[in-house]
Chain A
Amino acid sequence: MTDRAFAVVRAGALTTVQDLGRAGHAHLGVPRSGALDADAHRLANRLVGNGPEAATLETTVTGCAVRMRSAGTVAVTGAPCPVTVDGRPAPWGAPVHVPADAVLEVGTAAYGLRSYLAFAGGIEAEPVLGSRATDLLSGLGPDPLSDGAVLPLGTPGAPVPAADAVPHAGPARELVLPVRLGPRDDWFTVAGLRTLLTGVWRVSSASNRIGLRTEGPSLERARDGELPSEGMALGAVQVPPNGLPVLFLADHPTTGGYPVIGVVRESALSAAAQAAPGTPVRFVRAHSGF
């Protein structure tokens, strides 16, 4: 029997197993989780012939390296980075055949933060509530990768498609987030709302899978205090007492008491997942329709 698996040679700064997450359990206090750059996750899966629900690896800045226990097809997307197989250069953003026992190296991101590594057949870690995603807020799902860990792979399904040309926008000079005001925009003054839609922030180095934190102008509140805990949506822009907006990403808490001034459109969250600390951030009013 083929040992369909890979061993972690270099775990990198933070590499986690991710899929589309476990939506539908927020009422139990379970965050959605899942790939932060869902577009890159889907693309990586498509390049190796997987469905979008297959689990991939999400790296953080420094990539990772794995040794394949059996030959297989992989693809790296998301943050562009050098890809090598046993030290020889291989393409980023395209299917790559890796022989058995070869080491696949996902290098440090040239720009962006998170690369996605898909394996034909997907990573078969034990699912929790229907998802293999690692949730760093609540500790559900597989542990973050550690050197020496071995993760099983599934059986490849569809034949691997011919390589698509992968369009890539290049490094973003700024992160522009379309936001729809509410539910708690009435907790802010007119000046505070104007600041939201005209101000420029920078991505804080304290950002993580839970939220993108910002540094910049403070949003003026019309009232003090906290709300009774209420449900929080993906993309919510929560404003803690320091007035600096926090954009909730996949591992965000399911409830909270700080007011949410607006909610960022989900289609913009993949770009947010790649915005490095220091990247300028602006919010623009989202108009109805797409």
Chain B
Amino acid sequence: MTALPAAGPRTRPAESPGLRMRTLPVGDHGLLVELDSGAAVEALHAELLRRAAAGLLPATREIVPAARTVLIDGLAEPERFAAELTGWDIPPATRSGAQTLEVPVRYDGPDLADVAELWGVTPEEVVRIHSGTEFRVAFCGFAPGFGYLTGLPERYHVPRRATPRTRLPVGSVALAGPYTGVYPRSSPGGWQLLGTTDAVLWDASREPAALFAPGTLVRFVPQPFDPHPEAAQ
């Protein structure tokens, strides 16, 4: 049973108990709030940002959403804040009016065929399904600008590769578990490579530096590419 109403209009049952959350101590000034679902994390994170923008949040140093948790660090009185938090009335997150970022992708990754087999579809279907999905940056981590994007239904979740690659090129669009990620720089990694993008995920001299931040909505747009580049050489 989930305490969070399903996605839809911003209404909730009259007797809604609010989000079910568990608050855990993180040192003297931090709090880890554990929730039942990614949707609940999205809702709490949105509420924290709303309250911060309205000046209704005590000073914090970091607010870090993740898969099932939100870390709030730098609180003067974390116990008091934890008590206050449990009394909040938190609406489910809404995405209406939010901009969707379009990221061009050449779906030419070496793992496209393996993913197709895992999904039980053709490689062309993988491209159609992946580019037809609206993703959301659930959280960031691993490297500056690396987002963990959710949106694929559970039947399309895939394991990491048994043997990680020593180098994934910059701009790699890849899958692991429930997530799609885009590598902001070349890196070793065990994710399944679907393709590559020329979008610049991280540029420290740009404002904002990160293309993806928690909450960013993303759609991958297939780009034409030469499937046999070696034949042209």
Residues of A within 8 A of B (CB): 23-30, 128-129, 138-140, 180-184, 228-236, 253-256, 260, 263-266, 286, 288
Residues of A within 8 A of B69 (CB): 228, 230-231
Which residue of the partner chain, among A26, A183, A263, A286, contacts B64 with CB atoms under 8 Å?
A: A26
A/B interface sample: 5 pairs, CB < 8 A: A24-B62, A28-B210, A233-B73, A263-B25, A263-B28
Q: How far is the CB of B218 from chain A (nearest CB, A)?
A: 15
Are A233 and B30 in contact (CB-based, < 8 A)?
yes
Tell whether, in the assembled complex, residue B64 and residue A255 are in contact, meaning their CB atoms are under 8 Å apart.
Answer: yes
Pair A29/B32 contact, Cβ less than 8 Å: no
Q: Say whether A265 contacts B141, CB under 8 Å.
A: no
Structural contact, A263 and B67, CB atoms closer than 8 A: no
Looking at chain A's contact residues, the main secondary structure is: loop
13 further A-B pairs in the complex, CB-CB below 8 A; given A29-B210, A230-B71: A27-B213, A28-B210, A28-B213, A30-B144, A182-B24, A230-B67, A231-B64, A232-B71, A254-B140, A260-B26, A263-B27, A263-B30, A288-B28
Contact check, B61 vs A128: say whether CB atoms are below 8 A apart. no
Shortest Cβ distance from B129 into chain A, in angstroms?
A: 24
Which residues of chain B in 24-55 are interfacial with respect to chain A, using CB atoms and an 8 Å cutoff?
24-28, 30, 32
Contact indicator B62/A230 (Cβ below 8 Å): no
Known: A28-B209, A128-B204, A228-B66. A23 touches B61 (CB 8 A): yes
Chain B, 124-182, CB within 8 A of any chain A CB: 139-146, 148
B204, A140: Cβ atoms under 8 Å? yes
Contact residue among B25, B63, B141 (Cβ-Cβ distance under 8 Å from A183): B25
Say yes or no: A254-B27 contact (C-beta < 8 A), given A24-B62, A28-B209, A229-B67. Answer: no
Q: Which residues of B contact A180 (CB under 8 A)?
A: 25, 27-28
Measured between C-beta atoms, what is the minimum distance from B38 to chain A in Å? 9
Residue of A nearest to B64 (CB): A231
Contact partner of B142 (CB less than 8 A), chosen from A25, A26, A184, A255, is A255
**B92 near A: Cβ within 8 Å?**
no
The reply to whether B141 and A229 form a contact with Cβ atoms under 8 Å apart is yes
Within residues 204 to 224 of chain B, which ones have a CB less than 8 A from any CB in chain A? 204, 209-210, 213-214
Rank and list the top 4 A-B pairs by shortest CB-CB distance, nearest first: A231-B71, A255-B141, A231-B64, A263-B27
CB atoms of B71 and A28 under 8 A apart: no
Collect the chain A residues with CB atoms within 8 Å of residue B195's CB: none
- In the assembled complex, which residues on chain B have CB atoms less than 8 Å from the CB atom of A28? 140, 144-145, 209-210, 213
- B66-A229 in contact (CB<8A): yes
Q: How far is the CA of A99 from the CA of B162 in the complex (A)?
A: 60
Is A231 touching B144 in the complex (CB atoms < 8 A)?
Answer: no
Nearest-Cβ distance from residue B9 to partner chain A, whole angstroms? 28
Roughly how many angstroms separate A229 CA and B68 CA in the complex, as a whole number? 8
Give Cα A116 to B79, complex, Å: 36
| B62 in contact with A265 (CB, 8 Å) | no
Contact of B62 among A23, A129, A138 (CB under 8 A): A23
Query: How far is the CB of A53 from the nearest CB of chain B, in Å?
Result: 15
In the complex, are the beta carbons of A29 and B27 less than 8 A apart? no
